[in-house]
Amino acid sequence: MNSETRARCLRMARGRLACALLPLLMVAWFVSRGQIFAAGLLFCTVLPLMMIGTLVPRCAWFGPMIKRLAHDTGHALLTIDDGPHPEHTPAILDILDRHQIKALFFLIGERAARHPELVREIVQRGHEIGNHTQTHPAARFWALPPATLWREVADCQHTLTSICPDHPPRFFRPPAGHHNVCTFVISQALGLKMLMWSVRGFDGVMQDVKFITERIRARLKPGSIVLIHEATPVAVEVAESTARLLAESGLMCGASALPRSDDC
């Protein structure tokens, strides 16, 4: 990615951010004119809309994203976030092999750099790797300024591509699904499509494997994009129960379930 492309993308991202912040300037102007009611009305209208667009993972107000597969294909897609992990990744790969499932692993760049052999193993076993930022700043990713956001996504892309040059990531998933008005512009400039999910069991914050599995079961249907995680106390158990569930569902969950670039 050359410096000209980066500079052009950041100009566009900063322009979008300025437009998003313009209502706050209008609020200040109304306050300075003594129009407190108008200021409060504008603030209470714009702020919730911005928060919904930012913090609701599947809200596409700020740019297009993939939230599910075509429902009439009989496919589902398993996505696994937050790897690679020295213990979980090998175990999960064995589970997927046993159930004949191919998945999309959204990897954190700095973890991938520590365990490049695991990234190569994921690809060698027929799975796909995705961009999940370089450091996974989940609590503040939505608030990152354009240059820092670019660095998170671009550095991860560079890390993963340097490890598997023949299989660069095609898809990007922001940490916790949170994104801001700049995220789409930056991911698009880096050649990435944002891919979210339609089914999750909240295994990132819960440890009740039965509850997690049943929640996924209740929502699983053709076209589902399922989200589970590595690096949790129940990661391997959840991977086993979810893989078994997918295998028993009759849905096809392999390489053909992945969206093609020209369909995204």
Helices (H) and strands (E) in the chain, counts: 9, 7
* pLDDT tens digits, 89-136: 999 999 999 999 999 999 999 999 999 999 999 999 999 999 999 999
Q: Strand, coil or helix: what is 200?
A: strand
Q: Among 76-80, 223-227, 253-257, where is mean pLDDT lowest?
A: 253-257
Residue in 260, 247, 257, 263 with CA at minimum distance from that of residue 95: 247
Structure tokens at 1: 């990615």
Mean pLDDT of 186-209: 96
* pLDDT tens digits, 21-50: 888 788 888 899 899 988 898 889 888 888
The pLDDT value given to residue 263: 47
SS3 content of the chain, % helix, strand, coil (to 5): 55, 10, 35
Stated pTM of the model: 0.92
User: Residue 81 catalytic?
Assistant: yes
Residue 264 reports pLDDT greater than 70: no
My answer on whether omega of the bond before 84 falls inside 30° of 0, hence cis, is yes
Q: Single out the catalytic residue among 72, 75, 81, 179.
A: 81
What is the sign, positive or negative, of the torsion defined by CA atoms of 195, 227, 135, 156? negative
First to last CA, the chain: 21
User: Residue 97 catalytic?
Assistant: no
Question: What is the distance of C-alpha 260 from the center of its chain?
Answer: 17
The pLDDT value given to residue 64: 95
* Amino acid code (one letter) for 154: A
Q: Strand, coil or helix: what is 63?
A: coil
Residue 9 host element (H or E): helix 3-32
DSSP state string for 212-240? HHHHHHHH--TT-EEEEESSSTTHHHHHH
In which order are the strands placed within the sheet that holds 77-83?
193-194, 171-172, 128-131, 103-107, 77-83, 225-229, 199-200
Residue in 202, 213, 264, 206 with CA at minimum distance from that of residue 238: 213
Q: Single out the catalytic residue among 75, 132, 179, 229.
A: 229
The pLDDT value given to residue 103: 96
